[in-house]
Amino acid sequence: MSTTPPTDSEKYALQVQGLRITLPGTARNVLDGVDLTVAAGETVALVGESGSGKTLTSRSALGLLPPGALTEGRVDVVGEDVLDISAERLRALRTGTVAMIFQDPRAAINPLRRIGDFLVEGVTLTGSVNQADATARAGELLQDVGVDPSVLRKYPSQVSGGMLQRVMIAAALMGDPSLLLADEPTTALDVTTQAEVVALLIRLQQCFATGLLFVTHDLDLAATISDRVYVMYAGRIAESGPADELFARPRHPYTAALLASTPRPDAPAGRLAAIDGRPPDLRTTLTGCAFAARCPLATEVCEQRQPDLRPAPDRPGHRAACHHTEQLTRSSADA
CA distance 104 to 323: 38
Element (H, E) at 47: strand 43-47
How many other CB atoms are there within 10 angstroms of residue 42's CB atom? 19
Does the predicted model carry a pTM greater than 0.75?
A: yes
The pLDDT value given to residue 330: 60
The pLDDT value given to residue 331: 59
Q: DSSP character for 107?
A: H
pLDDT digits 0-9 by tens, 1-56: 333 433 455 589 999 999 999 999 999 999 999 999 999 999 999 999 999 999 99
Higher pLDDT, 45 or 261: 45
What residue spans in the chain does CATH classification 3.40.50.300 cover? Answer: 12-97+178-261+285-334
Q: Percent of the chain at pLDDT above 90?
A: 58
Q: Count Cβ atoms within 10 A of the Cβ of residue 49 and give its class: 0-12 exposed, 13-18 middle, 19 or more buried.
A: middle
The pLDDT value given to residue 11: 80
Closest CA to 291 of 232, 218, 222: 232
Pick among 3.30.365.10, 3.90.1150.10, 3.40.50.300, 3.40.50.1370: CATH of 12-97+178-261+285-334:
3.40.50.300
CA distance 278 to 56: 19
Query: Residue 134 pLDDT > 60, yes or no?
Result: yes
